[in-house]
Structure 1
C-alpha cells in the first residue's frame, strides 16, 4: 500500500514563485538576495497557514544555493539544494520553541552558533512559534541575536507578534504575512485538483475557501476530507453536506416569508432547518451574513464587497431590489442582539423562534413609523405638544367679624372676593380701611372700580391656635422647663483630699460589686492629689493601669459630679514609671580564658604542662 501524504505537505511550495498570496514578501526577499543585502535576523509574523515556515525554509535554501538564478530563485540542482530537499543539510537548524522554550535550550542553540559551517556560506537557524519562549530565554537570546557571527542568520516565525519582547522586535527585520484571499485559494485548489485528477466544481472550491478563512493549510485539509468523502467528486451539494453549511436557498425563502409577513411559513421553514441538525447560533450567524450581503447589493459601488459563491450574485441583486434598506438594517440589529444573547437563553429554540417572529412583523412596524407625506421615517412621540402643569387655586383664610359688630380688629388685612359684585370704589374702600386701621392691598387709581367685594379679615393665627394642639417640640420644651423649675439648685461642694478619697473609695466598692477585680486593684493603688477645687490628678505606675482607669472614666466623672454637685469636675492621669534596674550578666568564658584564669591562681599547672610537653586543644 502506497503511503499517503496530505496535500498540505505534498504541495508545499519549494521556491518563491510557488508561494500563494504573499508576493509583497517574496519579491522583497528575492531582491535582498540578489543585491546581497540580507539582514542577520528576520521575523515572519501573521495568521496560521499563510506560509511563514514555508518562506523561512525557501529563504534558508536559497541563501546557501551555489548557483542562484537571475530572478533570485534556488537552482535545486547543487549539492546544498539537494541536501536541503532530502532533509540532510547540516547548515539549516529548525527549533520548535513551543516545546523547547527554556533557557537551557536557547543556551544550547547559542553554543552551536560559535561553530562555522563546514560547507556553504551561512548557518541558518529557524525558530518556529518564537512567542512561546520564556522571558529568561528571550533575555539569553538577546546578545547573540543583536551581534551574531557573520555566517549566522536567524529566522523567527510567530502567530502572536504582540507577545514578543520589544527588545527582540528591534533586532529583527519584520515581515507581516496577510491572509490569503478567496480567489487565490480557489486558483490554487483548482491547480491541485487538476494534478490529482479530481473532478471539482468551482462553487464547491469557493465554499472551501470561505470556510478556511484565508488559511491555505486548512483549505487543503478540507479538500482532502471531501475527496475521501465523495470518492474524488467534489460537488457543491456534497461540500454543503460535509461542511455542515446551510444552503443559501433557505435564507432566500426565509426572507420572502418575512417580507410577506407569513409567520407560519417562517416558523415551518425554521423547523425544517432545525430537523436537519443545524444549531440555532449557526442559523442566526448565517442569516445575518446573508442579510449583510443583500444590504451590500443595494449600492452598486459596494457590490465588490459581495463574497458569495459564483452564480449567486444575480439572485442577490434581484432580492436587494425588493427589500428596503430600513428593513435590512433593522433586521441586522435584531439578529446581532439575538446572537449575543443566544448563549444566555435557556430555551434555545424558543429564542430563535422569537427572533423570527420579530423579523416577520418588522415590516409592519416600519410602515407604522413611515410618513407618507414626506416619505421619511419619523420617530413616534407620546405627546404631540407641550402640556402645562395644572395648579389648583387655594382660597384665602377669611375671618368674619362677629354678628352685631361693625369694626374689624386692628391689624386686619383686606381680601377681595371675585365672586361678589362691585359695591364701592377703590378710594371709598381705602378710606374705610384707614378708619379701622386695616391695610388695603388695592391700587390707588381714583376712578378705578373692582369687580369684587372687599372683605376684611384678621391676620392668620399660629397653627396651634387654629388646631388647638401643641407641636411635639413645644411639648418637649414645656416638659424640660417644668423639670428645671421643679429641681432644687444645690450649692457646689469644694474638692478636698478627704472627701475625694471617700467618694473614690465608694466608687471602688461599686466596681467590686460588678466583679471587676483587676480594676478594683488599680483604683486601690492609685495616688490622688487635688489640684484645685474642680480638678485633681491620678497617678499610676504603668500604662496598663492608665487604660483601666480610662475605661471607667465616664461613669466615674458622672458619679463625682453628682456627689460634689459640680458639672465642671475633671481629672488627669499621670504615669510614674519606676526606673528599670540594669543587671549586668557576666559573659561566658571560653576554654582559653578559663585556662588563663586557672594558671593565674595555680602557676604550678603551667610548669607541669611545660615539663610534660602537653598541647592543649582549646
Structure 2
C-alpha cells in the first residue's frame, strides 16, 4: 500500500512559476538572481500558509543551481537540484526558531557559518518563525547577520513582523507576502482535483476558499478531508455539511419572513436551524454577513465587494431591491449588539430568539419614525430632558433726536397722534449744537413727562423736534424718563410701614406657627414655641433659643418667615437675629482612681490589724 501524502506537501511548488498568488515576490527574486543582485539577508513575512517557507526553499535551490534558465528558474536536473529535492543537500540548513530560540542555538549556527560550502556557490540558512528568538539570541545574531561571509545567505521567515527587533529589520531585505485571493485558490484547487481525478463543483471550491481565508495550506487540508468524507465527490451540499456552514437559502427565507413581519415563521425557521446543531453565535455571525452582502448589492459600484458563491449574485441583487437601506443598517446594528452580548447571556437560545423578534418588528419602528410628508427620518423627541422656553421677539424702538433750543416748546395734546405698530420712527436730523446747562434740561423734562405714558403704551409717538442727543455711555432721554416715571409711580403706591412691637410681633409669630402646623412640621413648631422674642427697634427683633440645633431649625424657615413678616408689617427692611443662650454646666471633679498598692495602704491605715495578720501568716500580696 502506497503511503498517503497530504496535498499540501505533495503539491508544494518546486519553482517560482508554480507559486500561487505571490507574483510580486517571485518576479523580484528571479530578477535578482538573473542580474546577480542578491542580498545577504532576506525577511519573508506574512500570514500563515501563503508560501513563505516554500519561496525560501525555492530561492535556496535556485541560487545553487548549475544550469539556471534565462528566466531565473532552477533546472531540477543538476546534482545540486536533485540533492535538494531528495533532502540530502549540505548547502541548505533549516532552523526552527520556535524550538531553538536560545543563545546557544544561535552560537552553533554562527559556528557553522565559518565553514565554506564544499559544493555549490552559497550556503543558505533558513530560520523559520524567527520572531520566537529571545532578545539575547537576537543580539548574538546581529554581527553575523550584518557582515556574513560572501558565501552565506540568511532567509528569515515570520508571521509576526512587529515582534522582531528594529536592528534585525534594518539588516534584511523585507518581502511582505499577501493573502491568496479566492479566485487563485479556486483555480489551484481545481488543478489538484483534476490531477487526482476528483469531481469537484466550483461552488464547493468557492466555499472552501472562503473558509480558508487566504491560506492555501488550510484550503488543501479541507479539500483532503472532504474528498475522504465524500469518497471523491465534492459537492456544494456535502461541503456545507462537512464544514458546518449554514446554507444561504435559510438566510433568504429568514429575511422574507421578517420583512413580512411573520414572527411565527421566523421562530419556526430558527428552531429548524437550531435542531440541525448550529450554535446561536454562528447563526448571528452568518446572518450579519448575509445582511451586509444585501446592503452591498444595492449599489452596482460596490458589486466587487460581494464575495459569495457563483450563481448567488443575481439573487442578492434581486433581494436588495425589496429592502430599504434603513432596515439593513438597523438590522446590522441589532445583530452586532446581539453577537457581542451572546457570551454573557445565560439562555443562549432565548437571546437569539429575542434578536429575531426585534428584526421581525423592525420595519414598524422605522415606519413610525418616518415622516411621509417630507420623506425623511424624524428623530425621537426628548421628554425627560430640559426644554428651552420660547419667547416672542419684541419690536425695538429707536428714536433719533437732535439738539434743539434751550427750552423746547410743550407739545399740545391735540397734536399728538397714534400710529399703528410699524417700523422704527426716526426724526429728521438737524445740526448738532453745543450742550446747554443741566438746569435747562431739567426744565424740559416736566413738559415731556405728560406724553411718556402714551409713548410707553403705543410704542411710538412723534418726537419733539428739539430734543437733546444723549452722550456716549449715558442713558438716553427716553430711558431716564421711564426710570423717573416708574420711581414716582412706585413711591405713590408705597404703603406706610407698620412699626414692630412686642404685641403685633407675637401675634404674627403665632400665625406663622399655625401655618407650620398645617404643613405637619411638628419639630419646627416645638422650636418656635420655646423661642423667646425681643424687639430691638421698629425694624429689627431678636430670637433667643437654647441650643444650636434649634437655631438650625429656625434658619431653615428664615426665608419664608421673613417674607411673611415683610408682608404683614409692610416693610421690606425688616429683619431678625438668632441668639443661642448656652447654659454653663457645673464641672464635677471625679476622684482619681487608686492603684492596688494605694488601696492596700489606705486600708491598713484604717485597720492596722490587717497588716499584723498578713505578717503573721507570711502572706505575699500580688500588686
Q: Tell me the TM-score normalised to structure 2 length.
A: 0.67
Change (3 A) 1:213 1:467: same
Please name the residue that 2:245 is paired with: 245
Taking the aligned partners of 2:234 and 2:65, their CA distance within structure 1 comes to 40
Q: Count residues with an aligned counterpart.
A: 444
Structure 2 residue runs without a partner (length 5+)? 391-481, 511-527, 532-542, 549-577, 599-623
> Quick one: which of 562, 575, 584 aligns to 1:483?
584
Please name the residue that 1:192 is paired with: 192
Shift of 1:453: 8.6
Please name the residue that 2:8 is paired with: 8
2:77 matched to 1:77? yes
Conservation of the 8 A alpha-carbon contact between 2:93 and 2:126: yes
Please name the residue that 2:509 is paired with: 467
Taking the aligned partners of 2:500 and 2:231, their CA distance within structure 1 comes to 106
Conservation of the 8 A alpha-carbon contact between 2:208 and 2:222: yes
1:337-376 paired onto structure 2 within 5 Å: 337-376=337-376
Taking the aligned partners of 1:514 and 1:145, their CA distance within structure 2 comes to 89
Conservation of the 8 A alpha-carbon contact between 2:94 and 2:126: yes
Change (3 A) 1:454 1:130: closer
Shift of 1:166: 1.2
Shift of 1:313: 0.3
Q: Tell me the TM-score normalised to structure 1 length.
A: 0.67
2:419 matched to 1:318? no
Please name the residue that 1:377 is paired with: 377
Shift of 1:162: 1.0
Shift of 1:134: 1.1
Secondary structure of residue in 2 paired with 1:483: coil
Query: Cα deviations across residues 377-425 of structure 1 (Å, max 9, x unaligned)?
Result: 1112146995759xxxxxxxxxxxxxxxxxxxxxxxxxxxxxxxxxxxx
Please name the residue that 2:520 is paired with: none
1:12-23 paired onto structure 2 within 5 Å: 12-23=12-23
Secondary structure of residue in 1 paired with 2:344: coil
Query: Cα deviations across residues 347-396 of structure 1 (Å, max 9, x unaligned)?
Result: 0000000000000000000000111111111112146995759xxxxxxx
Please name the residue that 2:99 is paired with: 99
Change (3 A) 1:513 1:368: same
Change (3 A) 1:38 1:461: farther
Change (3 A) 1:513 1:30: same
Taking the aligned partners of 2:485 and 2:260, their CA distance within structure 1 comes to 77
Taking the aligned partners of 2:253 and 2:356, their CA distance within structure 1 comes to 13
Shift of 1:165: 1.1
Please name the residue that 1:458 is paired with: 498
Secondary structure of residue in 2 paired with 1:126: strand
Change (3 A) 1:138 1:449: closer
Please name the residue that 1:403 is paired with: none
Taking the aligned partners of 1:363 and 1:40, their CA distance within structure 2 comes to 64
Shift of 1:456: 4.7
Taking the aligned partners of 1:65 and 1:341, their CA distance within structure 2 comes to 58
Change (3 A) 1:18 1:515: farther
Change (3 A) 1:174 1:515: farther
Please name the residue that 1:37 is paired with: 37
Taking the aligned partners of 2:15 and 2:25, their CA distance within structure 1 comes to 13
Shift of 1:460: 7.8
1:37-186 paired onto structure 2 within 5 Å: 37-186=37-186
Please name the residue that 2:609 is paired with: none
Conservation of the 8 A alpha-carbon contact between 2:544 and 2:581: no
Query: Cα deviations across residues 242-288 of structure 1 (Å, max 9, x unaligned)?
Result: 10100000000000000010000000000000000000000000000
Please name the residue that 2:450 is paired with: none
1:286-305 paired onto structure 2 within 5 Å: 286-305=286-305
Please name the residue that 1:209 is paired with: 209
Secondary structure of residue in 2 paired with 1:125: strand
Secondary structure of residue in 1 paired with 2:353: helix
Query: Cα deviations across residues 125-183 of structure 1 (Å, max 9, x unaligned)?
Result: 00001111111111111111111111000000011111111111111111110000000
Query: Cα deviations across residues 33-89 of structure 1 (Å, max 9, x unaligned)?
Result: 111111111010100000000000000000111111110101111111111011000
Shift of 1:458: 2.5
Q: Which moved more, 1:161-170 or 1:205-214?
A: 161-170
Secondary structure of residue in 2 paired with 1:224: helix
Conservation of the 8 A alpha-carbon contact between 2:545 and 2:580: no
Taking the aligned partners of 2:17 and 2:597, their CA distance within structure 1 comes to 101
Taking the aligned partners of 1:217 and 1:270, their CA distance within structure 2 comes to 34
Structure 1 residue runs without a partner (length 5+)? 390-441, 488-506, 517-618
Q: Which moved more, 1:122-131 or 1:133-142?
A: 133-142
Secondary structure of residue in 2 paired with 1:5: coil
4+ residue segments displaced more than 2 Å: 382-389, 442-446, 452-484, 509-516
